[in-house]
Structure formats: structure tokens, C-alpha cells
Amino acid sequence: MSSIEKVVKRSGAIVPFTPDRITNAIYRAAVAVGGRDRTIAEGLSQQVVALLERSTPPGHIPTIEEIQDLVEKVLIENGHAKVAKAYILYRDERARHRKERAERAQSPSGNIPWAKIWHVLDWAVAHRVHTVEAYNQRVRQGEMAHIIQEAEAAYNEDIENAVELIAPRRGEIKVVIITGPSSSGKTTTTIKIGQHLRHLGVKLVTLNVDHYFFDLELHPKDEFGDYDFETPQALDIPLINQHLARLISGEEVRIPFYDFKTGHRTNDHTPMRLAAGEVILIDSLHGLYPAMTESIPDEQKFKVYLEPLLQMKNAEGEYVRWTDLRLIRRMLRDASHRAYDPTRTLEHWHYVRSSELRNIIPQIGTTDYIVNSAMPYELSIYRARLLESFQKWAEAYRSDPLREDAFIRADRILKLLQTIDPLEGDQLIPKDSVLREFIGGSVYSY
């Protein structure tokens, strides 16, 4: 047992010292450069703890920064230069993100698709759903059915626009990628785009990159037993890239099979070869990650990016956060299709968001078309289904410094949902709506 019992977080909060956090940080850096041996990370972590105990004066509570300095020192002294570099880069990146958050109000982000946002905002104003107050007023006037029809029509128009851009290039494009952050609606959108393209005579073959996951125990895991499988490194990126190149060149490859029940992958499982004129269709969280498709020339790829780009201001005049919509969607989907407790989804979300900010959002500028999957009326669905849960979570995490992220999100969403008029049933929601991917009752099989 370590003589260090407490540490000081950057927020100033004092929390219990957990050596596993050091192990996880070292292992995460190792995974980023291709390492998968957790025992090495555990040994290095023990060295860090021993050095921390020797260097900490009596009565002093070490800070996170002090511990991170020691991690860098131990990594370098043990000859793990690549891991040390990955750790330092990640640390610097986190510091930069904190600085950017502080400066965000003064300068616009280059990671936001402003032209698309303006189009969505213009639509929201025209349909009187640009504020919670305006939206509630329409609901109270009995216009919910119209709001649903208008929102669904806008989404389907986006789908058609993407298809119209792909169709003229059918002889050139070899890979169509549907991508976007977690719970943006990729699966439904992939199905819809696939249907439209097949109707136009485009031959599509789906490549499920989820089968390229590494075995679950090879992913970083935190002190709560939660695995971080949200990063690109959770997938065998080099193998995906290699298989894509070979498929396009006309070769046969054998796709691995990943068993989500056991968390294990079987290699060389399913043979796959493209017939003449066939196009690969990929639905992937990390579809924009450069290394995944670097062997494919840009002119042979078409990338569709999804995000629920809701343009609605809350009672305080702040825009509803897209990440909050996606968190709620994932809670409902995980509970319905994966038997996950929504509490588990909330506590895991910081991994989701961290990976998005590092690996997905910065790539938005490389996409060919952006689809807005937000539905203003989805807030009413969430109010009816999850308001009491968010009340419970906000209270449970209020005084827990180890769950600060979960509290901030739960409290923010609670305050929003309290201002929204509820939609108790789902009879008005089309069976092919993108929201059915999360709330159930879809005509599609997921």
C-alpha cells in the first residue's frame, strides 16, 4: 500500500491517490505507438509510485502535474522514448484543449462547419424551432406532427443531396465512408444512402470495420474497470488499410470476426472479394482517421460526415450542445440493444468525448458532405423518458470529485429537459426515422 493517499486535481479538488491511474496513462501511451503489454506498464507505474513516495515531503499532497512529470522521467530513463513522446504529446494536447476552451468565446473554432451551421440555423429560424421558447409554443399550439414532418424532410433532403454528389462519380469512387461521432446516426444514414445508390444501379458491398477490433483485454482500462475502446487504436488500423487496398486492386482478403459477447477476434475468418463495378460502403466512427484509408487515393473516396447540428437556444440564451444529444441517444440505444445501464453510458462518456476531440472533430474539414441528423422534437422524447434519471444522476454525482465530468453533463442536461414540453408516445415518429436507431421501433434491422 502506498504512503501517498491523496492527490490534488487541476481543479483544486483533493481526491484519493489511485496508482492504477498511472498504469492506465502509461498503457494508453503505449497503445498509441503500437504497444500492447500491460505488464510493462504496471512495472513502470510501480517505479513512478516508488519515486513519488521518495520525493514527496511529509505532509505534502502531490499534484497531478507533479506525478505526470515523474511519469515522463521514468519512461525516458527506462528507454521507452516512443511511449514517452506519446505521453508528452497527449499531455500537451490536453493543456492546449484547456486553453482553447478558455479562449473559445473570443475566437471561432476551425473545427466547426460554419457554412452548414448557417444553413441549419436559417432553417431553424424559418420553422420557429431556434429557441426552446419558440419550440414549446409550437408544441402547445398542437403543431408537433408538423415539426416532426419538417425535421424528417430536412434530414432526408440531406441524404438525397449526398447521393446526388456521389452518383455522377460512380466510375471513379471505390469507397463510400459514412462517419461521425458516437450516436450521430451513422447506421440509419448508411442504410438510407445505400438504398438510394442501389436504386441508381450502384453496386455496394459493406465492410464492417468493427470486426477489426483488438481483443477487449488489450484496450486501456481505468480503475473502475471501464475499457477505453473509443480510440482509433482500438481497431487494427494497418490491417483495415491493407485490406482496402487489396480489395480495390481485385484481390481476395479474409475479414476477421469480432465476437462482442466474448471480446475476442478471430483472424482470417470471412473471404471477401469485389466484383466488377462494386463499391465498398463503410460505416465507421473513425472513417476520417487518415491512417485507416491512406492507401486509397482521395479521388476514389467519398466521405459523408454526420452530426446532430441542432440550432436551438436554451432559456439562458446558450445553444443546446450536440454532444448532449448524442449522449442521450447512446444511453437509449445502449439500454435497448446492448443491455447497458444508462448510468454506465454516462460514466463512460468522457472517453467518447476525449477521443472525438482528438481524432474525429479535427478531421471535419476533409469530408465531402455533411448531414445534419438533429431533430428538434427529440428533446421532447428525452424529457418524457429520462428526466427522472438525470435528476438522480445530478444529485448522486454532485459531491463526487471522481465523477466531475458525469455531474457536469447530468446537471446541464437536467436543466435543459426541465424546460422542454414532453412527447409521451412515439406514434408520430416515422418508422424509418434516424431517431428509431436509438429509441427502437425502426423498420430497419441494426
Within 8 A by CB and 6+ apart from 178, the residues are 186, 189, 190, 193, 281, 282, 283, 284, 287, 304, 306
pLDDT at 304: 96
Q: Name the H helices within 142-269.
A: 144-166, 186-199, 237-248
Question: Where does the pLDDT of residue 401 fall: very low under 50, low under 70, confident under 90, or very high at 90 and above?
Answer: confident
Residue 166 has pLDDT above 80, yes or no: yes
- H or E segment to which residue 280 belongs: strand 278-284
Question: Where does the pLDDT of residue 274 fall: very low under 50, low under 70, confident under 90, or very high at 90 and above?
Answer: very high
Give the rounded percent of residues in the chain with a pLDDT score beyond 70. 93
pLDDT at 430: 96
Parallel, antiparallel, or unpaired: how do β-strands 278-284 and 175-179 relate? Answer: parallel
Residue-averaged pLDDT of the chain? 89
Return the higher-pLDDT residue of 8 and 382: 382
* Radius of gyration, alpha carbons of the chain: 23
Residue 100 has pLDDT above 80, yes or no: no
Residue 415 has pLDDT above 50, yes or no: yes
Residue 358 has pLDDT above 80, yes or no: yes
pLDDT in tens, 26-51: 888 888 888 888 889 889 889 988 88
CA–CA distance, 166 with 336 (Å, rounded to integer): 33
Question: Where does the pLDDT of residue 351 fall: very low under 50, low under 70, confident under 90, or very high at 90 and above?
Answer: confident
Residue 104 has pLDDT above 50, yes or no: no
Task: Name the 3-class secondary structure at 252.
Answer: coil
pLDDT at 106: 42
Averaged pLDDT, 239-250: 96
pLDDT at 171: 87
pLDDT at 218: 82
pLDDT at 95: 66
Cα dist from 301 to 204, 376, 405, whole Å: 14, 32, 37
Residue 81 has pLDDT above 70, yes or no: yes
Cell numbers at 289, concatenated: 482517421
pLDDT at 270: 96
pLDDT at 224: 61
pLDDT at 62: 86
pLDDT at 292: 95
How far is it between the farthest Cα atoms of the chain?
A: 74
Can you give the pTM of this predicted structure?
0.78
Burial class (CB in 10 A: 0-12, 13-18, 19+), 37: exposed
Among 99-103, 175-179, 295-299, 355-359, the least confident range: 99-103
Question: Where does the pLDDT of residue 105 fall: very low under 50, low under 70, confident under 90, or very high at 90 and above?
Answer: very low
Among 90-94, 173-177, 410-414, the least confident range: 90-94
Return the higher-pLDDT residue of 327 and 354: 327
Residue 108 has pLDDT above 50, yes or no: no
Averaged pLDDT, 234-253: 95
pLDDT at 123: 96
Give the rounded percent of residues in the chain with a pLDDT score beyond 90. 61
Angle at 309 between CA 211 and CA 138, to 5 degrees: 130
